[in-house]
Amino acid sequence: MVNPNRRSTHCWCLSHRLSAPQMRELGETREDAMRALAARDVAPGVVGYADGEPVAWCSISPRTQIPRLEASQLMPRTDDVDVWSVICVVVRAGHRRQGHTTRLLEAAVAFAREHAAPAVEAHPVDNRPDGGGAAPGTDAPDRIDTTMAFAGTWSMFDRAGFEVVGETAAKGSGRPRLVMRRDC
């Protein structure tokens, strides 16, 4: 969405929302499927602009509309609140470290609030300065590598007013994901 060199094989934030057959029902390409979702009454996220050009994207929807998240054993529900969930945040290269992420998350919370969401949750990587959930013998990074960039970090959600309400079990990289929430 925000990459001018986008390809049909890019994610388009669909894998957590739709099965392959459901995507094909919406169009020939992943971009077609996302455009079909975006044309619905409630869009599947918000776009951030700089000088009229899309430079940032935040995928946000009711958690119940994100089947892979709902079924996740790594990121189970914290409670029975009908939260909306952020599953992706991305800012195009050349536009990072300019405050777009905080403004984008503010817009995502406002969007959820407009649609009567009680709260917004996210599951970022733990990069708290105290080491938080860093693997033994390591320091929590200030930033994360690009393979995890879409999940975000504690610091970006902290700057946008989210608070830690839980933590997932460490898997794979040894770093747990946090459960962060902001009331609407």
Look at residue 27 and tell me if it is in a domain. Answer: yes
Look at residue 114 and tell me if it is in a domain. Answer: yes
Structure-derived torsion over alpha carbons of residues 23, 29, 32, 34, reported in degrees to the nearest 10: 50
Look at residue 4 and tell me if it is in a domain. Answer: no
Domain count, the chain: 1
For residue 42, the domain's CATH number is: 3.40.630.30
The whole-number pLDDT of residue 175 equals 64
Average pLDDT across each block of 10 residues of the chain; the chain has 184 residues. List them in order: 63 80 85 85 92 91 92 87 93 87 95 97 84 48 45 86 85 72 96
Look at residue 12 and tell me if it is in a domain. Answer: no
Whole-structure pTM value: 0.83
* Pairing, β 53-62 against β 119-122: unpaired
Look at residue 7 and tell me if it is in a domain. Answer: no
Look at residue 14 and tell me if it is in a domain. Answer: no
Domain residue limits at 175: 20-183
Look at residue 177 and tell me if it is in a domain. Answer: yes
Are 45 and 59 a contacting pair, CB within 8 Å?
A: yes
Residues 111 and 43: their CA atoms lie apart, in Å, by: 10
Residues 39 and 37: their CA atoms lie apart, in Å, by: 5
Look at residue 83 and tell me if it is in a domain. Answer: yes
Residues 115 and 119: their CA atoms lie apart, in Å, by: 11
